[in-house]
Amino acid sequence: MTAPTVLWLRHDLRLADNPALLAAVDAGAPVVVLYVLDDVTPGVRPLGGASRWWLHHSLTELGDRLARRGGRLVLRRGSGTHVVHEVVAQTGASTVVWNRRYSQGGRAADAGLKESLRAHGVHAESFHANLLFEPWTIQTGAGKPYQVFTPFWRACVNGPPPRDPLPAPKHVPAPADPVASDRLDDWELLPTRPDWAGGLRENWTPGERDARRRLEEFATDTLAAYGLRDEPAREVTSRLSPSLAFGEISPFQIWHRMHEALSTAAHQQRGKFLSEVGWREFHHHVAFHAEDLATVNVRRRFDDFGWETPGDEELDRWRYGRTGIPLVDAGMRELWHTGYMHNRVRMVAASFLVKNLLVDWRVGEQWFWDTLVDADEANNPGNWQWVAGSGADAAPYFRIFNPRAQADRFDRDGEYVRRWVPEVGTGDYPEPMVDLAQSRRDALEAYEQIRR
């Protein structure tokens, strides 16, 4: 009997381009493929509601794919560190492998685990899988982390190119004795009473297989029209963000596909699309070096900002799309219904909360965390801080989106707004909850205080 290898999966729910999986299989021993639902480890953020829905289906699909290759997915709940030790003890595993995660809490837990495993004589190894450029490898000339996107991405692109994606193993040998696993249904990741996931089901198919399909469709059909990406009524974005968040697809696979055959028109848009992938890299870079991106202002000067404290009723108008500002409401309803919001509209809806209502960006960030299927520990707070002006490479304070002007520019014929707010222009649609011109002036005044 060979001692098995434990593969601990986290944000890498895929078989292709999975270095830790490949290493586990190549070791020649049976592989215990483990996923841990961890709501308890300090600094590891529990998934929000929409993400839990996605996770359920992604794990189901992964389990099926694994089974077709002879493997078996083992599910456990609790502290990741504790569970891994438990599984090692139960199986007599000699090796544990995983792909690196980059959040503060995740790194701390993994470093501690590596140390304690080695102290128990268990070999532990981590792999580079989920970012094109690991955060500590990109530095300014002065050896410091970047705080501005453009030079950061230039440094990435001008350095050694990302490796080619790795193949999926054809066979994943499971241990002869089955390892105890939770039943996925018992985790109750799907909503009941009420089941609010109907819009999610209509719009998404979680899992590696559909992620690959979306990438291929984007590369062959959609990328050529990516120049229209700012218009929310068009469907010209990749919609890969939730799959990237769960690691159903890797940035290496995306990068590589963008360097394969593309039409001339698509080729012209490639750099723009890859720079959006670059923003994901940038936010992870910033988060790696920041204190805690989801709670602490990158620009500490904002710590004294006098945010308003909104009532539940006011906040609910924003959350559920009843602000009386059509583009904001359209976006918030798209989010509530589908677990997703077009990027341009995210900026407008976030700007409205932070600048027109002067609500702390953390309040909006938490709502997005709970409702987005692509909620990401670095991207979500990083983008909210960017909008608020407290973040890295943030817009100047006096840049305040006007949601009406944004609608005129990017939804000129009102198609997107009508799709989500059909009653717009009728007596059923609410009056604006705030005067845009006055609240803009108030915001400029409030932000003026920060400058001192």
What is the contact surface with DNA in residues (CB under 7 A)?
Answer: 140-142, 144, 146-152, 155, 230, 276, 279, 343-344, 347, 383, 386, 393, 395-396, 398-402, 405-406, 409, 436-437, 440, 451
> Cα-Cα-Cα-Cα dihedral of 6, 107, 61, 379, to 10°?
-170
Helix extents (H) in 120-170: 149-158
Pick from 295, 404, 283: which is nearest to 360 by CA? 295
226 assigned to a ligand binding site: yes
Shortest distance (Å) from residue 279 CB to DNA? 4
237 is in an annotated binding site: yes
Nearer to DNA, 186 or 413 (CB): 413
- Cis peptide leading into 194, omega within 30 of 0? yes
Return the structure tokens found at 402. 């006007």
Closest CA to 388 of 446, 438, 330, 315: 446
Least Å distance, CB 149 to DNA, is 4
- Which residues, other chains included, contact 307 with Cβ-Cβ below 8 Å and sequence gap of 6+? 358, 359, 360
Q: Of 282, 250, 252, 288, which Cα lies nearest the Cα of 12?
A: 250
CB of 346 to DNA, least distance (A): 8
Compute the least distance from the CB of residue 158 to DNA, in Å.
10
Task: Judge whether 102 is annotated as a binding position.
Answer: no
User: Based on CB atoms, which residue is closest to DNA, 232 or 242?
Assistant: 232
Q: Which is nearer to DNA, 126 or 390 (CB)?
A: 390
- Nearer CB in complex with DNA: 190/450: 450
Q: What is the DSSP letter of 136?
A: G
Least separation in angstroms between CB 152 and DNA = 6
Q: Which is nearer to DNA, 142 or 176 (CB)?
A: 142
Q: What phi and psi values does residue 5 have, to the nearest 5 degrees?
A: -105, 135
Measured distance CA(372)–CA(404) in Å, rounded: 24
Joined together, the tokens standing for residue 383 give 């983008």
Q: Determine the Cα–Cα distance for residues 309 and 297; give it in Å rounded to an integer.
A: 18
Question: What is the CA angle 292-298-303, rounded to 5?
Answer: 95
Token code pair at residue 55: 């996770």
Q: Nearer to DNA by C-beta: 99 or 402?
A: 402
Determine if residue 446 is labeled as part of a ligand binding site. no
Q: How far is the CB of 315 from DNA (least distance, A)?
A: 23
Parallel, antiparallel, or unpaired: how do β-strands 31-37 and 95-99 relate? unpaired
Is 437 labeled as ligand-binding?
no
Query: Residue 250 annotated as binding?
Result: no
Which CB atom, from 380 or from 402, has the smaller least distance to DNA? 402
Q: How many CB atoms lie within 10 A of CB 299?
A: 16
Q: In what order do the strands lie in the sheet with 123-127?
A: 73-77, 31-37, 5-9, 95-99, 123-127
The answer on whether 94 is annotated among ligand-binding residues is: no
The smaller minimum CB distance to DNA, of residues 144 and 193, is found at 144
Q: Does the annotation place 220 within a ligand binding site?
A: no
Report, in Å, the least distance between residue 414 CB and DNA. Answer: 17
CA 39/CA 46 separation, integer angstroms: 5
Coil, strand, or helix at residue 92?
Answer: coil
Answer yes or no: is 416 a known binding residue. no
Kindly tell me which of 149 and 218 has the beta carbon lying closer to DNA: 149
174 near 29, Cβ under 8 Å? no
By C-beta, is 7 or 350 nearer to DNA?
350
Least gap, CB of 357 to DNA (angstroms): 16
Shortest distance, CB of residue 411 to DNA, whole angstroms?
13
- CA nearest 108: which of 78, 141, 148, 81? 81
CB of 428 to DNA, least distance (A): 26
φ/ψ of residue 216, rounded to 5: -65, -45
Residue 239 annotated as binding? yes
* Cα distance between residue 345 and residue 329, in whole Å: 10
- Extract the annotated binding site for FAD: 226, 237-241, 273, 374-376
- Extract the annotated binding site: 226, 237-241, 273, 374-376
